[in-house]
């Protein structure tokens, strides 16, 4: 499942949970036409329109979800519990993963990194994920796996400091 399918599935969840399953209610909340929403869900005889980062943030805002919520898998069955990325824009995916990693790192350590340190962590993880995705390797695909990766990273960092 790629990032666009995850966003589409989560959009359906948002519709069901926050808008009584009605596209028109979400469209009203976003001041858009229902067709501008429904094309991201299902299209007759074709593929649904992908949900880019900007549109994902708009859906999250309308539903009162935190930024990035639409990008993370929230249930159901996922192949091998990871996301094999198949999108054309792997740079965006690597950046999204790196940003989530940096945020989770701060949360796990219960600290606030300086802007400089967070940028450095972000750059290193972005490059790592970009390399893994480019080589066809799987990267953490859900919150639990990302949390485990952060905890491993923290442990390795602590061992290096001793």
Instruction: Output the pLDDT for position 44.
Output: 65
Q: Residue 23 and residue 18: Cα distance in Å, rounded?
A: 11
Q: What is the pLDDT of residues 105-138, one digit of tens each?
A: 888 788 887 888 888 888 888 888 778 776 767 7
Domain tally, the chain: 2
Question: What number is the average pLDDT over the span 45-53?
Answer: 82
Q: Is residue 78 part of a domain?
A: no
Instruction: Output the pLDDT for position 82.
Output: 39
Looking at 20, 39, 71, which one is the last position of a domain? 71
Q: Binning pLDDT at 50, 70 and 90, where does residue 86 land?
A: very low
Instruction: Output the pLDDT for position 88.
Output: 45
Rounded alpha-carbon distances, angstroms, from residue 46 to 40, 132, 136: 11, 31, 27
On whether both 67 and 105 belong to a single domain, the answer is no
Looking at 31, 47, 71, which one is the last position of a domain? 71
């Amino acid at each position: 499942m790629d990032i666009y399918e995850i966003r589409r599935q989560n959009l359906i969840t948002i519709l069901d949970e926050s808008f009584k399953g009605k596209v028109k209610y979400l469209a009203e909340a976003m001041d858009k036409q229902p067709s501008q929403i429904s094309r991201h869900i299902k299209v007759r005889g074709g593929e649904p329109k992908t949900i880019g980062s900007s549109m994902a943030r708009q859906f999250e805002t309308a539903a009162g979800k935190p930024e990035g919520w639409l990008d993370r898998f929230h249930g159901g069955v996922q192949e091998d519990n990871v996301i094999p990325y198949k999108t054309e824009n792997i740079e965006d995916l690597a950046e999204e993963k790196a940003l989530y990693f940096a945020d989770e790192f701060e949360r796990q350590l219960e600290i606030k990194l300086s802007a400089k340190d967070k940028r450095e962590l972000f750059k290193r993880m972005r490059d790592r994920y970009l390399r893994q995705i480019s080589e066809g390797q799987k990267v953490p695909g859900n919150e639990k796996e990302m949390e485990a990766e952060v905890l491993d990273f923290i442990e390795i960092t602590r061992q290096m400091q001793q």
